[in-house]
Amino acid sequence: MSTVPLTKFGAELLKQELHQLKTKERPSVINAISEARAQGDLSENAEYDAAKERQSFIEGRIADLEGKLSAAQIIDPTELEAEGRVVFGSTVHLEDLENAQKVTYQIVGEDEADIKEKKVSITSPIARALIGKYAGDVVGVQAPSGVREYEVLDVLYI
């Protein structure tokens, strides 16, 4: 398995989710399955089927998280020495050259991406366009509405 880039914060979130699944969700679904079994005939027991389906989801998610964490390359943005270049984990202040709107994004791993939190995936078009750029550079990003141009105002490692 190839390495999975994660920020230090993102890795902590995945660890918390894994802990929650193992200590709370898994025992809860095991209990639900045993209660459904106690009701008798399993062939027409909707609670049993739902609990088994939930168990399957939980076990799959646990395996997924354990795989990602074991292959994680954890990057602490505060320790980056990128000399002003946009890299994974950096926070970038941009200005849309069409409407002068300013936006800020942090470039993170796929599992951490959350546009509401201004975190974009390293695989997103905007992150791919920004990687390697410096403050003052202008980048073109392919958007559904066409190419949008942004000026990189500042690059931070926070």
Tens digit of each residue's pLDDT, the chain (158 residues): 588 899 999 999 999 999 999 999 999 999 999 998 888 777 778 889 999 999 999 999 999 999 999 999 999 999 988 899 999 999 999 999 999 999 999 999 999 999 999 999 999 999 999 999 999 999 999 988 899 999 999 999 99
Residue 109's CB is within 10 A of a number of other CB atoms, namely: 24
- What is the secondary structure of the chain as a DSSP string? ---EEEEHHHHHHHHHHHHHIIIIIHHHHHHHHHHHHHTS-STT-HHHHHHHHHHHHHHHHHHHHHHHHHTEEEE-GGG---TT---TT-EEEEEETTT--EEEEEEE-TTT-BGGGTEEETTSHHHHHHTT--TT-EEEEEETTEEEEEEEEEEE--
pLDDT of residue 75: 94
Q: Which domains does the chain have, with CATH numbers?
A: 4-75 (1.10.287.180), 77-156 (3.10.50.30)
Residues near 26 by beta carbon (within 8 Å), at least 6 away in sequence: 55, 58, 59, 62
pLDDT of residue 10: 93
6/12 Cα distance (integer angstroms): 9
Residue 40's CB is within 10 A of a number of other CB atoms, namely: 10
